[in-house]
Amino acid sequence: MTAQTSPPVRLSVRELSVRFWMRGGRTVAAVTDVSFDVAAGECLALVGESGCGKSVLTSALLGLLPGNAQVRGSALLDGLDLIAADEATLARTVRGRRVALIPQSPAAHLTPVRTVRSQLEETVRELTGARGHQARAAAERVAERAAFPADHLDHHPHELSGGLAQRAAIALALVGDAPLLIADEPTTGLDRDLVDRTVDELRRHVDDGHGLLVITHDLAAAERVADRIAVMYAGRVVELADADDFFGSPGPRHPYSRGLLDALPERAFTPIPGMPPELDALPDGCAFAPRCPRADAACAAVPALTGASGRAVACHHAYARTPETADV
């Protein structure tokens, strides 16, 4: 990639860890030492198997973790630390206004008994203070920006197709004009063309200057929408890469990332042997070792994530880069 000046960093997560204290003295290491950036006008896709800690990370960024969670590290969003902020600050100035969530299941997120228009107008009143026909006009504008058809505004959620419900949820997320959007598994259970359309709409908002963090297990969706990929395994980011490098050539560098891509039916269709470890019983050393074709004695020590900030890998025996970029 060319060495142009990168856009200003919007979200900067540093050494974020989340532990849950469970009954019986168990601890769940849901997120461990995670660091990444999301710039304005950029999309980072966080990919991994279910249960790898992706959704806990989202909750941490939105301040929505349960009481038994202990969080360390920082997540600076345009200067404000989302981790240190108290609930009042998060509720008044962050959620919906500086970070907006596009939920996993839009149909469940929308209130069933109210029309899309009334939900949009309420969110407009809440987030902008606009009233009356100002609120009405703002709701219609935001619907238009989300490509939600005006003639469906007076419908109830159950009268919408899956695609329109998804757009209604995106419209709701756009109301507060938050600079950072987080989409949590936005394409789960959708048909391929609906996946493509949803993802292309999300991409439009990135091209408008939003930062977008997409949490997904859908590699095809990640390939279509993301500039950069962060692969999570057992609570850690094990690889950060440019999407083009990752899906194209030279391909992923971490054995787990390779395994994920090789599992795709358009590639080798070979599963990674075994299952991810339980987050309350992580093995010592590299957590991927029991499933890894390259594991050896060196892997008894946890590999650090090393490399330039945008492109890094946590593996003692990472696959090589192309020669001209092999500079780690």
Cα torsion 21, 27, 29, 33: sign: positive
- Least distance in angstroms from the C-beta of 98 to other proteins: 30
In angstroms, how far is the first alpha carbon of the chain from the final one? 15
- Least distance in angstroms from the C-beta of 219 to other proteins: 6
51 contacts other proteins (rule: CB under 8 A):
yes
Indicate the burial class of 105 (C-beta count within 10 angstroms; 0-12, 13-18, 19 or more): middle
Among 117, 138, 315, 321, the residue binding ligand SF4 under the rule CB under 6 A is: 315
Give strand pairing partners of 102: 183
User: Are 146 and 205 a contacting pair, CB within 8 Å?
Assistant: no
- Least distance in angstroms from the C-beta of 263 to other proteins: 4
> Which partner in other proteins, ligand SF4, none is near 316 (CB below 5 to 8 A by kind)?
ligand SF4
232 contacts ligand SF4 (rule: CB under 6 A):
no
**188, amino acid identity:** T
Binding mask 144-183 toward other proteins (x if CB under 8 A, else -) reads ------------------x---------------------
Indicate the SS3 state at residue 208: coil
Tokens (6 digits) for 267: 């590639």
288 contacts ligand SF4 (rule: CB under 6 A):
yes
48 contacts ligand SF4 (rule: CB under 6 A):
no
Among 295, 305, 307, 321, the residue binding ligand SF4 under the rule CB under 6 A is: 295
235 contacts ligand SF4 (rule: CB under 6 A):
no
Indicate the SS3 state at residue 15: strand
Stretch that binds other proteins, among 42-50, 122-130, 201-209, 318-326 (CB under 8 A): 42-50
283 contacts other proteins (rule: CB under 8 A):
no
Indicate the SS3 state at residue 228: strand
Half-sphere exposure of 78 (CA within 13 A, CB side): 11
- Least distance in angstroms from the C-beta of 190 to other proteins: 8
- Which residue, 224 or 311, is less far from ligand SF4 as judged by CB? 311
**Percentage helix, strand, coil, to 5, in the chain?**
35, 25, 40
Tokens (6 digits) for 115: 């029309």
Stretch that binds ligand SF4, among 97-105, 124-132, 181-189, 295-303 (CB under 6 A): 295-303
Among 84, 108, 137, 264, the residue binding other proteins under the rule CB under 8 A is: 264
303 contacts ligand SF4 (rule: CB under 6 A):
yes
Element (H, E) at 108: helix 106-109
> Which partner in ligand SF4, other proteins, none is near 288 (CB below 5 to 8 A by kind)?
ligand SF4
209 contacts other proteins (rule: CB under 8 A):
no
Angle between helices 162-174 and 132-145 (to 10 degrees): 120
310 contacts other proteins (rule: CB under 8 A):
no
User: Are 184 and 101 a contacting pair, CB within 8 Å?
Assistant: yes
Alpha-carbon gap, residue 322 to 253, rounded angstroms:
11
Q: Which residues bind ligand SF4 (CB under 6 A)?
A: 255, 286, 288-289, 292, 294-295, 299, 303, 315-317
Q: Which residues bind other proteins (CB under 8 A)?
A: 48-51, 162, 188-193, 217, 219, 259-261, 263-266, 268-275
